[in-house]
Amino acid sequence: MISVQQDDFDVGDQYRRLCEQAGEAGAVVFFVGRVRGGDGTVRTLELEHYPGMCERQLQGFIDEARRRWDCRSVRVVHRVGRLAAGEQIVFLAVATRHRAEAFQAAHFLIDQLKTRAPFWKKEHGPDGARWLDAGADDVRAAGRWYHDAVAL
């Protein structure tokens, strides 16, 4: 299940819905990304996305995760629009039979999402607004899942 939305999400509700579709999977790993605070200053993020391509890319990552691991259920919720420090940005959850697969699949998915899904963050602070730069560490983290990795 993939959702790109403005509305906030409830982690408990997402977990319950994941479990409903996970059958008797023995392990669930989930990750929540939140807006970091900025050293005592007011900071909000504006998230822009490419509608349609985001969903296609995310589905592609999930398909690839299912090929690699025995994923019983996967959920990705990503928010867009204006978000304040401390607000939730992304929920990503994987249910598998055993924990090692759940950790690996969740790690793979968040690494791909961070570097290949068309979302962009603009930071609004006391000194104005600026687009955030992509992290080289994120690109390296995503590439290590592929032997034939190419730099994006």
Partner 1 sequence: MIRIRFFARLREALDCDLLDITVPSPLPVAALRRHLIHEYPHWAAHLDGRVLSAVNQELANGQTPVRDGDEVAFFPPVTGG
From 5-13, 19-27, 46-54, 96-104, give the range in contact with partner 1 by CB under 8 A. Answer: 46-54
140: Cα separation from own chain's centroid: 17
Distance CA 78, CA 63 (A): 18
User: Which one among 1, 53, 84, 100 touches partner 1, defined by CB under 8 A?
Assistant: 53
When the beta carbons of 15 and 46 are compared against partner 1, the nearer one is 46
Count how many Cα atoms sit within 13 Å of the Cα of residue 105 in the half-sphere of its side chain: 31
Does 131 engage in binding with partner 1 (CB under 8 A)? Answer: yes
Indicate the residue type of 128. G
How is 8-54 classified by DSSP, letter by letter?
---HHHHHHHHHHTSTT-SEEEEEEEEPPPBTTB--EEEEEE-TTHH
Shortest Å, Cβ 97 to partner 1: 26
User: Which one among 49, 66, 97, 124 touches partner 1, defined by CB under 8 A?
Assistant: 49
Shortest Å, Cβ 9 to partner 1: 15
Q: Give the footprint of partner 1 on this chain (CB under 8 A).
A: 33, 47-50, 52-53, 56-57, 78, 89-90, 110, 113-122, 131-135, 139, 152
